[in-house]
Amino acid sequence: MNDVHRIRDIKRVLVLILLLNFLVAGAKGIVGYLTNSLSVSADAFHSLLDGASNIVGLIAITLAAAEPDSDHPYGHRKFEVLGALGIGVLLAGAAWNILAEAWKRWQAPETIAVDWPSYAVMGSTMAVNVVVAVYERRRGRELESEVLLADSAHTRSDVLATAGVIASLFFAVHPRVDMFVAVGIAALIAWAAIRVALSGAAVLADRAVLDPREVQKVALSVEGVKECHEVRTRGTRDAIFADLRIHLPPALSLTEAHAIGHQVERRLKEAYPGLRDVVVHVEPHEHDPCL
């Protein structure tokens, strides 16, 4: 799949999920207002942030789609990672706001009024979130999108949060149970923020994307390659940059060595479709890699 089609498909997924998230947030918000439940209101805020993260994702993926230029020779894919980190910031802010409101409720508990329509709405929104989480994760893997994968993690936490809220509604006669569930939701949101932050930081810190041993196996499968070492990879799943050193028989001509280097590059790109650029350094086999 080329970049144009990939970006188009990611945007379609984000727009669809954006609409569903705002629909779910609106339904939960109404229930939270009518029942005066902090846990339901917190869950509504969580879903609203899901929608906000979709908007962040749309902006990030648009910036990431720009072609490499003189100032960004490796492309703009890290803007997509920055977008994912933006989602993490939104999650952290949501967790803090929920905890602040829970502290107020602890000091002054409030009565909660729950009816069966409330259960029906919350159950329906949870079902929507389950479908969204599964769909977004599957499409994120297919399209190798950091934004979709980060956002799917957010949505999965929303499913667990909604399940906890529904359980808390059964104990509406005990207002502080509602508060404890809200704190649990805040913890889920905070954990999702940490996971997103760690994932984005790994890319920005140029953490290895591919297993060097597997890359070596592919390179050594090319006839004439005697040794492969110093394998380095970085980038995102769909935009990997790699460089490595291979040892060839010293009797080979420059033209022959050059051709084998290109063959190694082609073989690696066949094995790893996400590879955008491979730099193959050719050395004579007598050279000691430790020197």
The span from the CA of 164 to the CA of 46, in Å, is 13
The span from the CA of 50 to the CA of 152, in Å, is 9
What average pLDDT does range 161-189 have in this prediction?
Answer: 73
Residues sharing a CB contact under 8 Å with residue 201, sequence separation 6 or more, in sequence order: 85
Residue 173 has pLDDT above 60, yes or no: no
pLDDT at 2: 62
CA 223 to chain centre: 38
Query: CA–CA distance from 84 to each of 77, 129, 290 (Å)?
Result: 12, 19, 39
What average pLDDT does range 3-18 have in this prediction?
Answer: 83
Backbone angles phi, psi at 240, to 5 degrees: -100, 135
pLDDT at 265: 94
pLDDT at 4: 73
CB 196 within 8 A of CB 80: no
Tell me the pLDDT band of 291, cut-offs 50, 70 and 90. very low
Quote the percentage of the chain above a pLDDT of 70.
88
Quote the percentage of the chain above a pLDDT of 90.
21
65: nearest Cα among 151, 148, 140, 3:
3
Residue 146 has pLDDT above 60, yes or no: yes
Question: Which tens digits make up the pLDDT trace of 130-144?
Answer: 888 889 889 888 887
Question: Which tens digits make up the pLDDT trace of 35-80?
Answer: 777 778 877 877 777 787 787 778 767 776 677 777 777 766 677 6
Question: Which tens digits make up the pLDDT trace of 180-214?
Answer: 777 877 787 788 788 778 877 777 777 888 999 99
What average pLDDT does range 173-179 have in this prediction?
Answer: 68
Residue 236 has pLDDT above 80, yes or no: no
Domain ranges of the chain: 3-204, 212-284
Backbone angles phi, psi at 205, to 5 degrees: -90, 10
The span from the CA of 153 to the CA of 134, in Å, is 10
Q: How far apart are the first and last CA of the chain?
A: 42
Question: Which tens digits make up the pLDDT trace of 71-116?
Answer: 777 766 677 677 777 777 877 887 887 787 778 767 776 666 667 7
Please determine, looking at this structure, whether the domain spanning 212-284 carries the CATH number 1.10.260.40. no
Looking at 17-31, 61-75, 118-132, 242-256, which range is the least confident one? 61-75
Tell me the pLDDT band of 21, cut-offs 50, 70 and 90. confident
What average pLDDT does range 246-252 have in this prediction?
Answer: 93
What average pLDDT does range 235-244 have in this prediction?
Answer: 84
Average pLDDT of every residue of the chain: 81
Q: Which fold has domain 3-204?
A: Alpha-lytic protease prodomain-like (1.20.1510)
